[in-house]
Amino acid sequence: MTAENQTPYVGDFLKDSPKNWGKWGPDDEVGSLNYLTSGEILRGVGHVETGEVFTLQVRMGNPDGDPVWPGRESIQRKNVMDESFFERGEGDETPGGAHYADDVATLFLQASTQYDALGHVWYGGQIWNGYDASTTAGDMSKASVLPIAERGIVGRGVLIDVARHRGKTVLDKGETFTHEDLLEIAAAQGVTIEKHDILLIRTGFIGSYYGQTPEEFYDGFLEPGLTYSPELVQWFQDMEIPNLVTDTIANEVTFEPGTGVTLPLHSALMRNLGVAFTEIAWLDDLAAACAADQRWTFLYTAAPLKVVGGTGAPVNPVVIR
């Protein structure tokens, strides 16, 4: 127990949790994405029927703000060249007289739809694959987002629409569900979650941001999501799930009910099993299309930005149905 708040230490909480460390060699930095072989990519291609394209990134730099984890800020973007500079005589005229615009941005790399690096969260002084946590100092020399970005992610995606199944636009704050719920909802949707599927889960949470003020959205902040159990972790292990994608900021309920442990699945799934996390995904349009024709599987593709040493990187996943 921690002295401050009497919540269990996550290392004790997960002491019997399975690990995939060393499964793909001592130098591995992409974890369960190794399951996405060329055969799995072709399996995903086989689920393209109508050629519809859906992009899953939320917009960056909305005037009213973007949905980000509390304490992070939306992208700060500004023009450093545009027509007003030329009107004031501050722009350098080019041969031929063409004018141009340019801008710069400051952003948290995890303040948009994004992939976490596998070394993003740890405990016990070790990150994914047993690398020493000191490798995170200054930048991530091990298990950064770069190897994931250079690999790319392609496979069969399956969407489980928890909010729609429960008759809600958005799940309640702190509302939870388990892998057993996912299996029940999949059966109701007429789809089977298969080994090596990229798992997309819709709660309606990110979509709800745009229908209220930021103050309302963050008031009593407690995200809905998956809740930890040894059985859930073992299910992810047995199903060899390579990638978890949700329309929440952290892919799981914020505080574990009953114990108060913060985001234990980041440790159990990402640190220990090497499951890639994709967060803040825009799933409402995709979900509407899937519900309309009852096709819940598709080709999922993603290529996060290649940020050297990054703990995460923005991404605009592309789904083709």
Q: What is the pLDDT of residues 196-222, one digit of tens each?
A: 999 999 999 999 999 999 999 999 999
**CB-based contact 236:208 (threshold 8 Å):** no
Residues 165 and 189 sit within 8 Å (Cβ to Cβ)? yes
User: What pLDDT sits at residue 4?
Assistant: 52
In order of their start, the domains of the chain are: 23-69+108-320 (3.50.30.50), 76-106 (no CATH)
Least confident of 12-16, 43-47, 118-122: 12-16
pLDDT confidence band for 241 (50 / 70 / 90) = very high
Q: E strands of 118-256, at which residues?
A: 153-161, 176-177, 198-202, 225-226, 243-246
Position 53 confidence tier, pLDDT thresholds 50, 70, 90: very high
Q: Across the chain, what does the average pLDDT equal?
A: 96
Tell me the C-alpha distance between 146 and 305, whole Å. 8
The DSSP 8-state label assigned to residue 78 in this structure reads E
Neighbours of 271 (CB within 10 A): 29
Segment 154-170 mean pLDDT: 98
Q: State mean pLDDT over 109-114.
A: 96
For residue 107, give Cα distances in angstroms to 66, 175, 306, 310. Answer: 12, 30, 15, 13
pLDDT of residue 5: 57
Give pLDDT tens digits for 247-264: 999 999 999 998 999 999
pLDDT over 80 (residue 3): no
The residue assigned the tokens 């902040």 is: 221
